[in-house]
Structure formats: C-alpha cells, structure tokens
C-alpha cells in the first residue's frame, strides 16, 4: 500500500468517527472549524462569519505548528491566539496541499486521543 492510499484510509476512518460523533460527514472547513473552536477554548452558540474564518485560521496555524511552520506569538485581550509564520509553505499542487493538511489533521486527532 502506498502512502497516498494509507492517508486516504486513515482519513476515511477519521471521517467515520466524526460521523459517529456528530451524525453527519464533515468537510475540511467543518473539521478546521472544530479544531479552531477546540484550540480557542471558548465555545459559543453563535460565531460571526469573521470569527468562523478566524477559528479556521487558528486551526491551520495550530495544525502546522508541530512541523515548524507557525508558532503562537501571543493571546490578545479577548483571548484570541495570534501566530507567527516561521517558514514559508512549500510549493504544492492543490491535491498535495489537501493531503498535507489532511496528514496534519490526522496527527492532531491522534495526539488528542480522538
């Protein structure tokens, strides 16, 4: 089995767990939102569109931090984390970008015992 097939198998297993937990299959944006809310730590009933985008940004920065792309710089007075980019992202095709992000999402969920 090659690495791409292994990644896809692990991704489908994660999706199945998320469907079991939330009763619907999440897309990548929903998964990023979920990670963002988890890392922000303030669960509200409603977020504005801008806050949802900020939460997904927090998720991407947090997900890529273990690989040395970002580090948390500070938390502002409203509790929002701010990240600093440490190195540029490598040039990738859209499919490579998606797989790169999927791999980091899987690592996140493994590290958080999901």
Mean pLDDT of 2-16: 88
pLDDT value of residue 17: 94
> Which ranges constitute the DSSP H helices of 3-48?
3-22, 28-40
pLDDT at position 110: 93
The residue-averaged pLDDT of 97-105 equals 96
Estimate to the nearest angstrom the gap between the alpha carbon of 107 and the chain centroid: 10
Query: How far are the Cα atoms of 9, 11, 62 from residue 5, in angstroms, in the given order?
Result: 6, 10, 25
Q: How confident is the model at residue 1 (pLDDT cuts 50, 70, 90)?
A: low
- Verdict on whether the full-model pTM lies above 0.95: no
Q: What is the pLDDT of residues 21-49, one digit of tens each?
A: 999 999 999 999 999 999 998 777 788 99
Number of structural domains (the chain) is 1
* Position 87 pLDDT exceeds 80: yes
pLDDT, position 79: 87
Range of the domain at 55: 3-111
When pLDDT is averaged across residues 52-78 and rounded to a whole number, the result is 96
* Average pLDDT, rounded, for the chain: 92
């Amino acid at each position: 089995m090659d690495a791409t097939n292994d990644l896809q198998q692990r991704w489908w297993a994660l999706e199945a767990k998320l469907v079991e937990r939330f009763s619907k299959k999440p897309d990548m944006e929903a998964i990023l939102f979920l990670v963002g809310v988890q890392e922000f730590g303030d669960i509200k009933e409603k977020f504005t569109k801008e806050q949802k985008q900020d939460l997904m940004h927090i998720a991407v920065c947090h997900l890529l931090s273990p690989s040395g792309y970002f580090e948390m710089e500070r938390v502002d007075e409203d509790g929002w984390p701010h990240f600093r980019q440490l190195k540029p992202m490598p040039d990738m095709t859209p499919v490579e970008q998606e797989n790169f992000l999927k791999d980091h999402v899987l690592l996140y969920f493994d590290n958080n015992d999901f």
